[in-house]
């Protein structure tokens, strides 16, 4: 980046990538803005609060980032959200006494050296989303601090930080990086209040309330104030609770006493908030909570990472190798680097020192840069969801504003021509906006989601991202992990197939009558695991537990064991148990572990028989283990034997070993040295049973035309068999195997198609995605990539798995569901308490119901405001309007209660074979709204015009209709002085009421009020996504009660009540006529909704007639494939420079007939 550059990228390639622009404050611009704020009575200030970019553009001038004192940040996603940050200066001159100290304290190659400006010894910094960035003088860019630089090699980390930092180094780093705390202060109530009140929605409310007070709509304005205050109070309470909860979650890790190693000063105890990247941590025995991320550089640790992943199996961490190469440490360790990193927020259960003494770790990241900090930041700053519903809602509101503008012009013309005062004309015109734009719309849209969230919680599904609930209603592809998700977590040992002298021997079945013979294969089963004894119980991977238990040996986890040539060291020793068959050794010591890596698909241990020689034992994916063995030790029929067992759905593990030359320290050996030239020992065959719920759930999804895909790290044949047993692949389907492989020494990849025909279509990766059902041998990173690729094809993707290996994919998917016992797994937006996939259709059902509820609410709110708007505009024609209590009744007694109860309808139990519409601006929905507006308008105009034609109608005498029947009525009514339309109290008693009372007002108000009830009933959709409306007892009761009150008002004829409600007496015949008009409107509206809007067959026919096709990319590909008779290719290999899916996986694909249907989303 150039020094003069005004613009740059921040966190390039990361999830929170942003663009950064440099600006310099200018005095005269600032003065003009201050004057503007004063003249606009603070309106300009409010605008700058909503639009920080306008604030920066108005107050500052663009400049290079180097000169900037203000920066403007913009997210690179489709939302392009702006934020403003001031540049801060940190002075380190007090810590660096003389120039000669400078290089020694700072270190030549560190970012701190590049950031300190000479000679004033200051550092320029900004803080964005809790992360501090400093200006790198040589690179001319802002760089993140709070983490160890990535460029260090493995040997450099050992050499540079192996002895700890000096006191001066630590002080400088602490000043620049800030404290090591994940500090989430509890936000003061006044701050929350100010933020909430300044929301544009409440500002609009405030504008409306001021207008209503000016027009003497006292009661309604007061009611709105009370409702708004209640809403604000509830929101603030909710936010405050979240803030307190998050504060408590993180505060426990902020104040822990730790031991650090100081260069030249020895060990020292200090508070964890004083730690800096590069510090040397020393672990004592016993349990420890980790206050930062750290790289283990000596010894071994057993860690519980359930807080991060939701997976409670203890994880083994090994030290960083001292490899002397030029690759940065993370690239050297590849995907395996996490095996050396201890993450903040996790708990160290056990430590095991090696021959180098203490268990030590170098602080890698502190504060919000840590894994836990990152997690807390994702809760504090959630990614906005790009869902069409919210964008369409905004567009619709804009349309309503334009609609209101037409009404304003009409109102101005009518009142100006009639000679009204200018002030009154302005009031009446502004009034139209408050009627046409429903202020309760945003609140109404969220009520459905809140109720759905509660229903999900009752069913054991917890949600930390409520805005994703509506997205669940659109899911049309679900990726499932295999082990522990589709199949039982625990495996049963089925058999052992030993191999000797290049040949497989007879299979040894379990449960065995006789013990296993003493052999290298038996020793591999005894030691090749990462099990630990915790609280007297063996814990670890279920596969390891089953394998070890089959040997009848026990773990003797005493703290110290003397190992020949190594002095005293901590190690795990396994010994024969009481039931074990006799063994020629007292026990075996596990000296060192290379833990299981999903990227490498294997694990290894270095073990030593007590009094014997050291040996290496490896276990893992059979194909992977066989590659590491000497070819002469692998049976020639290895592949065919493996196929026999994997085709039956067994989980097969390969085992191998080799003796280790003496003289080398175990801890200094690299994984490559250890895992080479092995002798193949045989295959361990384990049974992995399907969960009881798996098959019915997958059948339900298939019937609903929701595609199911299996994504697993297991062998492709095992995965295909499980898919067949689960019903993902039907018995009549042809299974096609597509293998993707890396070409040695090249970045390109090849895809080999077995038993298929030729085809010239070029986009093979997309076609694999379109037809693949089983994706096997996938690493965690590849699972995330696969989900992303599916999304690029315009699928709405759900991912269901456990929290550990699937963490990335769960976060990447539109809806990630973690099967975990924890209430909220930070790995995914949804967590299911029950560890079965039954939660998936449940979530889709509730998501669909919530989405349809949102649409119903939207249609209702739009119609209610339009009905009121049309009624008011009709009455404006006669310089009349609705009275205060009439508005109050419609807004409070009708709409508010309907808005609250409409969302109570539950989800329909059966999943429909199509999805609800995903956007508001869709033809059926718009047609529904337009038809109902038309019906309302016709009805109100009919009432307005026909009432004037009645023989008893009088424009001036509002008692003419009931005069003959009730003389006293005229007396009492005419003596009531009512408010004039101009807000002036008319003291004189006069015959003609010059207020709101008129026959037109009474007719239009009664018709429009009951019309709101009709619309609420018609729009309350039931099947196929929600239960029928009559099951929502509260809503039906409310509607019945409201209709009763409305009919009572229509027929009551009580003077005091009519006077209060600004109604006038009309003949009974006219009242019956109004009921008939309303009944006809209800019938027409209901028939239109059922016969046209909800008629799916009609819309599909229209689509077919007009040749409309779905624009989704996967749909376009399906159409191309249907016309291609030569798909798929046969026995061919295609080469590509870049493959969409990360390579190195086997993918079993098959065409999915249940999904290749003409499912068209309306």
Which are the catalytic amino acids?
481
- 587-594 CB contacts, 8 Å cutoff, 24+ apart: 587/556, 588/523, 588/526, 588/527, 589/561, 589/563, 590/527, 591/563, 591/666, 592/300, 592/318, 592/354, 592/666, 592/667, 592/669, 593/300, 593/316, 593/318, 593/530, 594/318, 594/671, 594/674, 594/675
Q: How many CA atoms lie within 13 A of 568 on its CB side?
A: 4
Place of tokens 């073990």: 607
Distance CA 512, CA 849 (A): 53
Count CB neighbours of 109 within 10 A.
13
Q: CB of 735 within 8 A of CB of 1150?
A: yes
Q: CB of 711 within 8 A of CB of 723?
A: no
Mutual angle of helices 189-197 and 218-251, in 10-degree steps:
130
The residue among 655, 621, 651 whose CA lies nearest residue 519 is 655
Q: CB of 336 within 8 A of CB of 145?
A: no
Distance CA 664, CA 674 (A): 11
What dihedral do alpha carbons 540, 544, 546, 548 form, nearest 10°? -100
State the Rg of the chain over Cα.
Answer: 37
Q: Is 936 helix (H, G, I), strand (E, B) or coil?
A: helix
Distance CA 862, CA 928 (A): 11
Distance CA 294, CA 303 (A): 13
Count CB neighbours of 746 within 10 A.
10
Full DSSP string of 690-753: BPTTHHHHHHHHHHTT-EEEEE-SS-HHHHHHHHHHHTSS-TTSPPEEEEEEEPTT-S-EEEEE
Distance CA 773, CA 1065 (A): 71
Q: Is 860 helix (H, G, I), strand (E, B) or coil?
A: helix
Distance CA 555, CA 437 (A): 72
Distance CA 204, CA 198 (A): 10
Place of tokens 């018709």: 1007
Query: Based on the number of CB atoms within 10 Å of its own CB, is 418 exposed (0-12), middle (13-18) or buried (19 or more)?
Result: exposed
Residues 6 or more apart whose Cβ sits within 8 Å of residue 31: none
Strand order in the sheet with 347-352: 288-289, 347-352, 300-304, 315-318
Query: Based on the number of CB atoms within 10 Å of its own CB, is 89 exposed (0-12), middle (13-18) or buried (19 or more)?
Result: exposed
Q: CB of 361 within 8 A of CB of 295?
A: yes
Q: How many helices (H) and strands (E) does the chain have?
A: 38, 45
Distance CA 415, CA 425 (A): 6
Q: Which two tokens stand for residue 23?
A: 């600006």
- DSSP strand E in 319-420: where? 341-342, 347-352, 359-365
Q: How long a stretch of residues is the chain?
A: 1162
Q: Which two tokens stand for residue 986?
A: 């008319």
Distance CA 935, CA 871 (A): 13
The residue among 867, 752, 613 whose CA lies nearest residue 1145 is 752
């Amino acid at each position: 980046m150039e020094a003069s550059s005004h613009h740059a990228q921040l966190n390039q390639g990361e999830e929170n990538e942003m663009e950064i622009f440099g600006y310099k404050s200018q005095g005269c611009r600032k003065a003009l803005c201050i004057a503007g704020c004063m003249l606009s009575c603070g309106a300009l200030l409010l605008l700058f609060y909503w639009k920080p970019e306008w604030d920066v553009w108005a107050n500052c001038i663009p400049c290079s980032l180097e000169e900037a004192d203000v920066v403007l940040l913009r997210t690179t996603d489709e939302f392009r959200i702006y934020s403003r940050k001031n540049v801060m200066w940190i002075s380190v001159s007090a810590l660096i006494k003389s120039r000669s100290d400078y290089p020694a304290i700072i270190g030549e190659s560190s970012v701190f050296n590049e950031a300190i400006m000479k000679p004033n010894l200051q550092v320029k910094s900004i803080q964005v989303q809790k992360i501090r960035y400093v200006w790198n003088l040589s690179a001319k860019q802002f760089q993140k601090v709070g983490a160890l630089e990535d460029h260090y090699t493995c040997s450099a980390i050992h050499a540079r930080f192996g002895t700890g930092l000096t006191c001066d180094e630590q002080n400088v780093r602490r000043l620049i990086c800030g404290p090591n705390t994940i500090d989430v202060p509890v936000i003061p109530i006044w701050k929350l209040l100010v933020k909430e009140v300044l929301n544009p929605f409440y500002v609009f409310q405030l504008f409306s309330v001021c207008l209503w007070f000016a027009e003497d709509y006292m009661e309604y304005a007061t009611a709105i104030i009370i409702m708004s205050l209640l809403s604000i109070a509830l929101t603030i309470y909710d936010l405050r609770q979240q803030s307190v909860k998050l504060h408590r979650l993180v505060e426990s890790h902020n104040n822990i006493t730790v031991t650090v190693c100081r260069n030249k000063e020895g060990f020292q105890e200090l508070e964890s908030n004083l730690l800096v990247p590069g510090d040397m941590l020393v672990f004592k025995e016993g349990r420890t909570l980790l206050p930062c991320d750290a790289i283990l550089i000596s010894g071994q640790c057993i860690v519980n990472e359930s807080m991060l992943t939701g997976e409670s199996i203890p994880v083994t961490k090994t030290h960083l190798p001292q490899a002397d190469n030029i690759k940065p440490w993370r690239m050297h360790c590849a995907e395996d680097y996490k095996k050396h990193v201890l993450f903040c927020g996790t708990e160290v259960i056990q430590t095991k020192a090696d021959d180098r003494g203490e268990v030590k770790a170098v602080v890698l990241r502190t504060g919000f840069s840590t894994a836990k900090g990152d997690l807390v930041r994702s809760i504090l700053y959630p990614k906005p969801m790009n869902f069409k519903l919210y964008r369409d809602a905004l567009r619709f509101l804009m349309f309503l504003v334009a609609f209101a503008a037409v009404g304003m012009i009409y109102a101005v013309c009518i009142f100006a021509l009639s000679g009204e005062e200018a002030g009154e004309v302005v009031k009446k015109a502004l009034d139209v906006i408050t009627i046409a734009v429903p202020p309760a719309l945003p609140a109404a849209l969220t009520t459905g989601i809140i109720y759905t969230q509660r229903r999900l919680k009752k069913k054991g599904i917890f949600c930390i991202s409520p805005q994703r609930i509506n997205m669940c209603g659109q899911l049309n592809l679900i990726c499932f992990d295999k082990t522990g998700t589709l199949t039982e977590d625990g495996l049963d040992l089925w058999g052992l197939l030993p191999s000797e002298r290049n040949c497989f021997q007879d299979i040894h079945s379990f449960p065995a009558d006789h013990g296993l013979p003493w052999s290298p294969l038996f020793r591999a089963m005894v030691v090749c695991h990462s099990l630990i004894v915790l609280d007297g119980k063996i814990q670890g991977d279920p596969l390891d537990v089953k394998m070890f238990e089959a040997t009848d040996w026990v773990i003797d986890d005493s703290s110290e064991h003397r190992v020949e040539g190594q002095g005293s060291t901590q190690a795990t020793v396994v010994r024969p148990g009481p039931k074990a068959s006799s063994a020629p050794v007292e026990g075996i010591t596990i000296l060192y572990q290379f833990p299981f890596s999903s990227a490498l698909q294997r694990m290894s241990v270095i073990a030593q028989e007590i009094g014997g020689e050291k040996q290496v034992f490896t276990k893992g994916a059979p194909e992977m283990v066989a590659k590491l063995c000497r070819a002469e030790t692998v049976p020639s029929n290895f592949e065919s034997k493996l196929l026999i067992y994997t085709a039956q759905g067994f989980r097969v593990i390969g085992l191998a070993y080799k003796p280790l030359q003496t003289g080398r320290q175990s801890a200094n050996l690299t994984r490559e040295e250890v895992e080479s030239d092995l002798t193949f020992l045989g295959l361990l065959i384990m049974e992995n049973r399907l969960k009881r719920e798996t098959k019915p759930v997958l059948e339900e999804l298939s019937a609903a035309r929701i595609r199911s895909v299996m994504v697993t790290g297991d062998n492709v044949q095992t995965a295909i068999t499980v898919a067949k047993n689960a019903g993902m692949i039907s018995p009549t389907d042809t299974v096609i195997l597509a293998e993707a492989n890396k070409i040695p020494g090249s970045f390109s990849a090849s895809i080999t198609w077995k038993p298929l025909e030729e085809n010239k279509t070029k986009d093979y990766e997309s076609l694999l995605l379109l037809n693949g059902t089983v994706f096997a041998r996938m690493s965690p990173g590849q699972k995330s990539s696969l989900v992303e690729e599916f999304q690029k094809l315009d699928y709405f993707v759900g991912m269901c798995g456990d929290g550990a290996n699937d963490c990335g994919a769960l976060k990447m998917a539109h809806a990630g569901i973690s099967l975990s016992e924890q209430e909220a797994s930070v790995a995914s937006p949804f967590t299911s308490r029950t560890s079965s996939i039954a939660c998936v259709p449940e979530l889709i059902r509730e998501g669909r119901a919530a989405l349809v509820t949102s649409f119903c609410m939207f249609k209702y709110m739009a119609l209610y405001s339009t009905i009121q708007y049309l009624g008011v505009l009709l009455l404006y024609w006669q310089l009349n309007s609705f009275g205060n209590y009439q508005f109050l009744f419609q807004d409070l007694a009708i709409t508010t209660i309907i808005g609250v109860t409409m969302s109570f309808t539950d989800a329909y139990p059966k999943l429909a074979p199509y999805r609800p519409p995903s956007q508001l601006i869709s033809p059926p929905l718009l047609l529904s709204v337009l038809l109902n507006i038309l019906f309302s308008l016709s009805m109100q105009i009919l009432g307005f015009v026909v009432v004037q034609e009645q023989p008893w109608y009088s424009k001036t005498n509002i008692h003419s209709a009931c005069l003959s029947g009730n003389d006293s009525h005229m007396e009492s009514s005419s003596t009531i002085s009512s408010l004039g339309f101009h807000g002036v109290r008319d003291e004189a008693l006069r015959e003609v009421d010059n207020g709101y009372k008129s026959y037109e007002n009474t007719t239009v108000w009664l018709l429009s009020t009951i019309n709101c009830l009709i619309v609420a009933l018609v729009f309350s959709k039931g099947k196929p996504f929600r239960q029928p409306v009559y099951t929502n007892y509260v809503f039906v009761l409310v509607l019945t009660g409201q209709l009763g009150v409305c009919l009572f008002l229509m027929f009551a004829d009580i003077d005091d009540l009519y006077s209060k409600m600004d109604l006038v007496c009309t003949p009974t015949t006219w009242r019956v006529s109004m009921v008939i008009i309303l009944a006809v409107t209800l019938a027409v509206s209901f028939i239109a909704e059922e016969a046209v809007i909800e008629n799916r067959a009609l819309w599909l026919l229209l689509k077919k007639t007009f040749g409309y096709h779905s624009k989704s990319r996967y749909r376009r590909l399906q159409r191309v494939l249907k016309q291609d008779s030569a798909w798929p290719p046969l026995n061919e290999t295609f080469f590509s420079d870049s493959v969409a899916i990360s390579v190195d996986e086997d993918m079993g694909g098959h065409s999915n007939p249940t999904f290749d249907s003409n499912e068209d989303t309306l």
